[in-house]
Amino acid sequence: MDRATPRDGAAFVTGASSGIGRATALELARRGYRVAATARRTEALRELTGTGQIFAYPGDVTQRAEMQTLITAIEADLGPIALAFLNAGVFLPAERGRFDPAAIATTYAVNVEGTVNCLEPLLAAMTRRGRGQIALNASLAGINGLPGSAAYGSSKAALIYMAEALKLEYAGRGIRIQVVCPGFVRTPMTDQETEFKMPFLMPPEAAAARICDGFEKGGFEISFPWQLATLTKFVRCLPYPLRFRLLSWSLRRARRR
């Protein structure tokens, strides 16, 4: 099972109007892909199309039928989707103040159900062709429980598990499944963070370069920066009492004064 190349077809990026999605769409175009960029903000998508390699396909990932129609349209216009980066996601600051069922429902509708709505037609089309590459954008925040992140962190944990399950299920069908676990990237989402300092914060262009390098290498996990990824996974291996103590200590140190 080879990794996708621009010769195999188009790339598809959700959540492409800003942040990691926008930077990755631009980086994929620079590497030779024709890129179908999807998001709800039509005007922001159109700003990407000046390169001639990026094509705007506005859409709402929370709408299952809409995603099926949109992916069919992309393949009719640009050819088969060889590489899909399912990146659309939200973090709602409302969950920081209290346990908020509405915030949890909205977060899951976009981060998890939105990914599922894209996966259904993509997996069907790639299975028919016996070839394809799909990356789910999770987060290092999905590896350990963190206060004020019951919705966002658990939605990303769900995507990590989903990617692992799909990797095992589709490995023999010619479909490469990957999971992307970034640390802190400067985006409109992280711009909302005012309570904690964000270690190893990087610009979206640097994150996009690492993500696209990971697409080309073809391994299952694309996680960065290595310092934060290593520490996060180490903490995950600790017994719960020690893990909670270390996380609490780290969060106290990171809290903005």
* Nearest in space to 143 (alpha carbons), one of 238, 40, 77: 238
Contact status, residue 132 vs residue 125, Cβ threshold 8 Å: yes
Residues 6+ apart with CB under 8 A from 238: 246
In Å, how far are 37, 61, 80, 223 from 68, measured between CA atoms?
A: 15, 10, 14, 29
Residue pointed to by tokens 């709800």: 40
Sheet harboring 81-86: ordered strands across? 54-56, 35-38, 10-14, 81-86, 132-137, 175-182, 221-224
Tokens of 231: 């520490």
Residue 152 annotated in active site: yes
* Three-class SS of 209-241: HHHHHHHHHCCCEEEECHHHHHHHHHHHCCCHH
In the set 33, 57, 108, 152, the catalytic residue is: 152
User: What is the C-alpha separation between 168 and 172, in angstroms, rounded?
Assistant: 8
**Catalytic positions:** 152
